[in-house]
Structure 1
Amino acid sequence: MTMTYLVTGANSGFGRLVTQKLIARGDRVAALARRPEALDDLANSAGDRMIRLHMDLTDKASIDAAIKKAFDRFGRIDVVLSNAGYGTFGAIEELTPDQIRRQIETNLTGTVLFTRSLLPHLRSQGGGRILQVSSEGGRISYPGFSTYHASKWGQEGFVEAVAQEVASFGIDFCLIEPGPTETNFLTGIDMGERIEDYDGTPTAQLRDALQSGGFDVPMGDAAKMAAEMLALADAETIPLRVAMGSVAFDNIERELKSRLALIQTQKDLAYRCDQTSNGHRS
């Protein structure tokens, strides 16, 4: 059965890979990007099964306009891949206020406004599925990625809450959490200005690895991940979170075990903070 997808960040990375696969299998795609002209080659092969639309996550008017045009064109959107975003790197002192603001406005505020604009259409049609591309960085953290983690941890909390708000409308969500992957994410990172006092620290070491490409970890296969995203989109039921790549799985599992061990040491303290039965704190 032919399905209709809306893909953000469709000009590169996972967005482009998924869009290519959808076109190849005969689905319809509303492909949204800041530079929709970068999709000309795909549009030429897709014919009337694809529409290219401009959308900038820092511009609410462009978000609303792109979503409206997509629904006006296709009538119904079955699955949304919310993929647009980027990363900023640097110790928090190394980042300018503009860099910090743009990171949060794009990855977090933009995702919130995009979802808010999308939901009335999905409610009206009786449901839909949203795959939100997050990151292992939505559940763990690395030095130097503080603002990126702020945006991704924020995405995860937002999606978890909204999924509960709209489940009764037949709208379900899945947070995709890739680990290190051979996409253009690393080459597109916005770097802060280096402060010499941080030389020799974990932040500087990670910066050097980013700039040299010296990561000694298993890299995820972007094409395989894109295929798994489509399999999730087609599945009868969908989990709220899915880790992709062995690094993501191992890091998230280790962090969750560590947090569980920590919270279990705090039960007595936590319970002591409750009110007593006579209304007074213990």
Structure 2
Amino acid sequence: MTTARTWFITGVNSGFGRALAERLLAAGDRVAGTVRRDGSVDDLRSRHGDRFRVDHLDVTDLPRVREVVDAAFAALGRIDVVVVNAGYGLFGAAEELSDEQVHHQVGTNLLGAIQTARAALPHLRAQGGGRIIQISSVAGLAAHAGASLYHATKWGVEGFMEALAQEVAPFGIEVTLVEPGGARTEFARGNLRLSEPLAAYDGTPAAFVRQFRDGVAATVPVIGDPGKMADRIIASADERPAPLRLVLGSDSYAASTAALRARLAQVEPQEAAAASTDADDA
């Protein structure tokens, strides 16, 4: 990047948020970040001073999301890129999950993401444009047993952001959905939660996720380099037009393309049957 920019990133204490913040600050950019654990980024604050602004935020507190976003724009003036990153994975068969787990997963991954984008929009419009980068997942394009609620939030945010991109294009605001596969971050240790297992699901496809209970199992290869992924996300902010979807990892590419081809194969043979339900005067 040739010109220093200002970024707003939710969840900068770990994972992609941390990797992005470290690289951007080292390159001379300004970063406004949010954390749930106070003190978790003190090293970055001491190293980068007033180029790194930090606010405490739980994105399930929707009014607080707007307060934090408004304060960041007020303090920093222009924010060029808003990265909606905060989230976690909830795994287990749908029946195994508690109502509280369901509510919190949707509140964090979907409602928190929607509110962060909505809070930024008036400011991005007023400044004449900007970029929203939503950290989604290959789980937003391909679904597997044992992750139904996680998929629900990621598929939901995919639909929201794709429609949003069309809504805000007239204002010079662009949107990118990032689709990473497995990455060697702290996700499995700190951002992954599991349901209490029901014996009825022993030996079923949904039981596959139970091997994550003590961390990522050796049978699940994790090939994504979070540093390389962060570099690719940062580089994408310079691309015009913005890529609507940014696929990261060969595993993500393989799973996404297979799922999309399978979906087409399910739908395309129904062309004549679908037309048969049209009104006679259509």
2:66–2:116: 8 Å Cα contact kept in structure 1?
yes
Of residues 142, 151, 154, the one that matches 1:152 is 154
Deviation at 1:240, TM superposition (A): 0.5
1:218–1:246: 8 Å Cα contact kept in structure 2?
no
Of residues 113, 116, 139, the one that matches 1:114 is 116
Aligned match of 1:263: 267
Deviation at 1:36, TM superposition (A): 4.2
Deviation at 1:216, TM superposition (A): 4.0
CA distance in 2, matches of 1:10, 1:210: 25
Show CA shifts across 1:161-215 (max 9, x none). Answer: 1111110000000000001111111223111111112111112133225645223
Secondary structure of the equivalent of 1:275? Answer: coil
Structure 1 runs of 4+ with >3 Å offset: 209-212, 215-218
Of residues 222, 233, 243, the one that matches 2:247 is 243
CA distance in 2, matches of 1:208, 1:9: 26
Secondary structure of the equivalent of 2:9? Answer: strand
Residue type of the alignment partner of 2:143: S
* Paired-residue identity, %: 45
Secondary structure of the equivalent of 1:131? Answer: strand
Aligned match of 1:48: 50
Secondary structure of the equivalent of 1:268? Answer: helix
CA distance in 2, matches of 1:102, 1:7: 21
Cα gap change, 1:36/1:52 in structure 2, threshold over 3 Å: closer, same or farther? Answer: farther
Residue type of the alignment partner of 2:245: R
CA distance in 2, matches of 1:255, 1:217: 20
For structure 2, the 5+ residue unaligned runs are none
Moved more, 82-91 or 35-44: 35-44
CA distance in 1, matches of 2:150, 2:15: 17
Deviation at 1:92, TM superposition (A): 1.1
Deviation at 1:4, TM superposition (A): 0.5
CA distance in 2, matches of 1:36, 1:82: 19
Residue type of the alignment partner of 1:92: A
Secondary structure of the equivalent of 1:276? Answer: coil
Residue type of the alignment partner of 1:158: F
For structure 1, the 5+ residue unaligned runs are none
1:9–1:34: 8 Å Cα contact kept in structure 2?
yes
CA distance in 2, matches of 1:236, 1:173: 11
Aligned match of 1:166: 168
Aligned match of 2:183: 181
CA distance in 2, matches of 1:220, 1:178: 8
Secondary structure of the equivalent of 1:158? Answer: helix
Cα gap change, 1:117/1:178 in structure 2, threshold over 3 Å: closer, same or farther? Answer: same
